[in-house]
Each structure stands twice: as structure tokens, then as C-alpha cells.
Amino acid sequence: MSTEALEKMLGKGMDNALLRFGLGKGYLDAKDLPRASENLQRCVAFDPSYSAAWKLLGQALNSNGNADAARHAWQQGIAAAQAKGDKQAEKEMTVFLRRLERLG
């Protein structure tokens, strides 16, 4: 679904983690990092266990030059992934954190 269609749904009063995730991913793919970050932050506010959203939030924040916030997002995401047994997301975010530490 396009970000335009998702924005229309939001405008009609629908608001939930899945909708915000879709918007966040759409804006991240379009390189609109501020809007991606905003929607992904709202997504994890709805559902703090949404490890895929934490992963994308960290990517959006890091791509926008906010390494500290990205680190925090990935740490939260790793904790969420561990709690759910989501080994793949945990592994990916651990790799992102290691890269960030090497660069910083």
C-alpha cells in the first residue's frame, strides 16, 4: 500500500502499530527520514515489542545522523526481539550496533 493510501487511513481516524509501521517503512524507502522516524516512533509507542519497527527506526535515525538515538532504538529492539524469540531481528540489530560502535 502506498504512503498516500496509508495517510488517508490515518486521516480517517485509523491509527495503530501496523499502520504506523507501513508509513515508517514507506517513508524510509523514499528517504524521507524525519517522517519515517516519526511514524516508527509512534509504532513502537503502540507496540514496544515490535522488533522490526525498532530495527527500521534505528536505521532511519542513523541515516539521519542521529547515532545515539539509533543505538538506543537498536538496544530496545534487541530486548524486544529476545523477549519474543525473534533471533533474526536480534542478530541483525546486533550487527548494526557493532558497525555503529566501530564507526563511533
What pLDDT does 1 receive?
Answer: 82
DSSP 43-63: HHHH-TT-HHHHHHHHHHHHH
Which domains does the chain show, CATH number per domain?
3-103 (1.25.40.10)
How many angstroms from the chain centroid is the CA of residue 5? 20
Tens digits of residue pLDDT in 40-58: 999 999 999 999 999 999 9
Tens digits of residue pLDDT in 60-75: 999 999 999 999 999 9
